[in-house]
Amino acid sequence: MLESLYKRKKTSRFDVLFYIVMGIFVILGLRLFAMQVLEGGYYQAKAEGNRLRMVPMTAARGVMYDRNGQILVGSRPAYTISIMPNGKPLDEDELAKLAKLLNKKPEDIQKKVNDHKHGYEPIRIANDISMDVVTSIEEHRHELPGVSIDVEPLRYYPYETMAAQLFGYVGEVSEEELAEIKAQNPNTTVGAGSILGRAGLEKLYDSVLRGIDGGKQLEVDASGRPVAEVDRKHTVPGSNIHLTIDVNVQKAAEEAVKKQLDILRSSGATGAAVVALDPNTGAVLAMVSAPEFNPNWFAKGITNTQWNQLNNDKNHPFENKVIAGEYPPGSPFKIVTGTAALDLKKVTPDEMIFDSGKHWLIDKRNAEGEALGWLNFNQALAKSDNVYFYEMGNRLGIENIDLYARYFGLGEKTGINLVGEAAGNVASPEYKRKVFDQDWYLGETFDAAIGQSFHLATPLQMAVLLSQVANGGIRYQPYVVSRVDNPDGTPAEIFGPKNLGVLPVPKNIMDLIREGLRDVTNEGGTAGALFKGFPIAVAGKTGTAENAHGRDHGWFVAYAPYDKPQIVVVALVEQGGFGAGSAGPIVRDILSAYFKVPDATKKTTDTKKSNTKNNQQNIKPSVKE
């Protein structure tokens, strides 16, 4: 009896124990089922996120060629250092080591990593690392598991600051921009780390130049070290564009501007703009705006010091003064006034007008107060006599000046395919009424006749104006991109001359203007001294434009050869003073380079090196040509 009681008790306790064990295993089994069968997909995605990293590969941007196929803007291979995020905070040791090797502050690297919160894409820490640093990082590879070294095409501007505002610059897309781009176009090929054009042609032709970034899918271990490549999407390089720029003319223009600004900076010159056009097509041969910047700084990732230096420069290094700078046109505007006066028969070429130093109706004088006496049209233009042209203004009236200024394309954008072009302004009573709500005075007509008053023009507009004089009156739209390629190198789009209108002025009148301009560079003209001995016949016009904000701006506009124009060059030196002295030498140097005229200064340096006689013998025939 006792025994059976004991037995029952024993049995039930073992049963309980068994059911407890059973219960534990059922719970474990159910939990397994829930995690692996029901929620398996969720955990699978997490595991994939752990191990897979998409590493973008930047496509090489398209090349910009000059008109002769020289590379103006290209790419070169560069080492970049990235950190592969592994979902954990950065290891302090690793950070300190990397910072030391890269000669950077750990905080700066930490900041870059912190800024890059989303996603598992590698974070680019440094661009364009020198071979030494790459080697030392390679040596410490095992201590830096999450650091990867990649070779990426880096945008490269071989001529450094050349035409910086025209070419523009590039930069890595920011997270905010990326979000915006993706919101606008969900199918965009722009991804994290993509390089975008930021200014100039880089920006305007970004979609052509950029190409399609690729990427490789890497498997990484827990420390972020890549273990294997899982998949790869190849990059599609960007397409090339061909510019109308002639690198030799551009180089000469850059050098001339630099030389001249070095001389004039001490006397207050703040910048310069130079443009050279082919007057027969409107193709831009050179475009310089100073001060400039070095787009390579941006390609490598600009430092704070560099950025502050550029950003705090009050002379606006980012502004393309050729298209965006609006200046009073000054004396070169006398071409407009003169054309109008002759065309409307307000004066005959032979009529002599007496310059007593001031106009007889209103006391307005020549710039330096000089009196040039009796002058015909040709002399007045060559010597840039203000009194003569005050009288032309007096005879024409502001409406006619206005009309002809617009015939020449002033007051409206040339329509060149660049961003940020300014329209300038043509002085008119309507303009004054609108802006200042004041009446128009005759004195202002006088000022307008010599390119002052409310006239404003960009150097490019002046180049177009002079092109019309040079080519007989056709207003070509200036253009700087002649061809856009397909990815395979075949032309996708070709740009040529575009006729915007013809100046309604007979040839004989244009001849008179051209002759006047020709005499500017002859002895007795305002640029006679400058072009003394120059082997090519140059037609030009000096200008010293009064500037309400500082010293006078110096203009020089010219085309050559006089009889068969091939090139128009316009130079403006901001606050450079006399046009003949400031802008003139720039134009002369460019023309020298274009026509391969031996430079006077170069000759002396050459003679120092070699036999004087030989040299002169070598040069003389070419001068005759």
Partner 1 sequence: MLQRIWRDCDWTIITCTLLLVAIGVVAIGSATHINQTGLHFSTLVAKQLIFFVINVALVIAIQFLDYHKLKDWANGIYILTILMLLAVIFVGTSALGAQRWIQLGPITIQPSEFSKLLMIICMAKMLESRFNKLDTFKSLIVPVLYVGFPILLVFMQPDLGTSLVYMAIFIGMLFISGIRLRLIRIIATVGVFLMPLAWFILKDYQKKRILVFMNPDIDPFGSGYHIIQSKIAIGSGTIFGKGLFNGTQSQLNFLPENHTDFIFSVIGEELGFIGCIIVLILLFMLIYRSIKVAYTCNDRFGMLLATGIGSMLCFEVLVNAGMTMGIMPVTGIPLPFISYGVSALTTNMISIGILLNISMQRTKYIF
Site string for partner 1, 411-430 (x = CB under 8 A): --------------------
According to DSSP, the β-strands at 241-243 and 64-65 are parallel
| β partners of residue 491 | 485
Pick from 185, 223, 614, 622: which binds partner 1 (CB under 8 A)?
A: 223
- Count of residues engaged in binding partner 1, rule: CB under 8 A: 43
Q: Of the two residues 37 and 548, which places its CB atom closer to partner 1 in the complex?
A: 37
**Beta carbon of residue 211, minimum distance to partner 1 (angstroms, whole number):** 33
Distance, in Å, from the CA atom of 346 to the CA atom of 480, rounded to the nearest integer, reads 39
Q: Of the two residues 28 and 179, which places its CB atom closer to partner 1 in the complex?
A: 28
Of residues 261-300, those binding partner 1 (CB under 8 A): none
Confirm or reject binding of residue 6 to partner 1 (CB under 8 A).
yes
Confirm or reject binding of residue 227 to partner 1 (CB under 8 A).
yes
Q: What are phi and psi of 438, to 5 degrees?
A: -130, 160
**Beta carbon of residue 219, minimum distance to partner 1 (angstroms, whole number):** 7
Q: Which residue intervals of 218-343 are DSSP H helices?
A: 247-264, 295-300, 304-311, 321-324, 334-343
Return the exposure string of 87-125: e unless at least 16 CB atoms fall within 10 Å of the residue's CB, then b: eeebbeebbebbbebbeeebeebeeebeebeeebbbbbb
Secondary structure of 173-229 in HEC code, one letter for each residue: CCHHHHHHHHHHCCCCCCCCCCEEECCHHHHHCHHHHHCECEEEEEEECCCCCEEEE
Confirm or reject binding of residue 435 to partner 1 (CB under 8 A).
no
**Beta carbon of residue 76, minimum distance to partner 1 (angstroms, whole number):** 35
Q: Of the two residues 26 and 529, which places its CB atom closer to partner 1 in the complex?
A: 26
Region of 58-66, 123-131, 217-225, 523-531 interacting with partner 1 (CB under 8 A): 217-225
Confirm or reject binding of residue 596 to partner 1 (CB under 8 A).
no
Radius of gyration of the chain (CA): 35
Confirm or reject binding of residue 229 to partner 1 (CB under 8 A).
no
Q: Of the two residues 227 and 352, which places its CB atom closer to partner 1 in the complex?
A: 227
Distance, in Å, from the CA atom of 217 to the CA atom of 220, rounded to the nearest integer, reads 10
Confirm or reject binding of residue 529 to partner 1 (CB under 8 A).
no
> Side chain identity at 194, as an amino acid letter?
S
Confirm or reject binding of residue 92 to partner 1 (CB under 8 A).
no
Region of 168-176, 219-227, 297-305, 321-329 interacting with partner 1 (CB under 8 A): 219-227
Region of 86-94, 346-354, 423-431, 452-460 interacting with partner 1 (CB under 8 A): 86-94
Q: Is 357 left (phi over 0), alpha (psi -120 to 50) or beta?
A: left
Confirm or reject binding of residue 319 to partner 1 (CB under 8 A).
no
Residue 409: exposed, middle, or buried by beta-carbon count in 10 A (0-12, 13-18, 19+)? buried
Confirm or reject binding of residue 219 to partner 1 (CB under 8 A).
yes
Region of 2-10, 146-154, 195-203, 302-310 interacting with partner 1 (CB under 8 A): 2-10
Confirm or reject binding of residue 95 to partner 1 (CB under 8 A).
no
**Beta carbon of residue 48, minimum distance to partner 1 (angstroms, whole number):** 8
Confirm or reject binding of residue 515 to partner 1 (CB under 8 A).
no
Q: Is the dihedral of CA 175, 178, 182, 184 positive or negative?
A: positive
**Beta carbon of residue 122, minimum distance to partner 1 (angstroms, whole number):** 17
For residues 555 and 332, is the Cβ–Cβ distance under 8 A? yes
Q: Of the two residues 33 and 354, which places its CB atom closer to partner 1 in the complex?
A: 33
Confirm or reject binding of residue 307 to partner 1 (CB under 8 A).
no
Of residues 7-26, those binding partner 1 (CB under 8 A): 9-11, 13-14, 16-18, 20-22, 24-25
| β partners of residue 474 | 502
Q: Of the two residues 7 and 498, which places its CB atom closer to partner 1 in the complex?
A: 7
Residue 226's closest CA among 106, 83, 387, 416? Answer: 83
Of residues 33-52, those binding partner 1 (CB under 8 A): 33, 35-37, 39-44, 46-48, 50-51
- Per the omega criterion (within 30 degrees of 0), is the bond before 291 cis? yes
Residues 6+ apart with CB under 8 A from 344: 396, 400
Which pair of tokens denotes residue 211? 């190409």
Displacement of CA 299 from its chain's centroid (Å): 14
Confirm or reject binding of residue 151 to partner 1 (CB under 8 A).
no
Binding site for partner 1 (CB under 8 A): 6, 9-11, 13-14, 16-18, 20-22, 24-25, 27-29, 31-33, 35-37, 39-44, 46-48, 50-51, 87-89, 219-223, 227
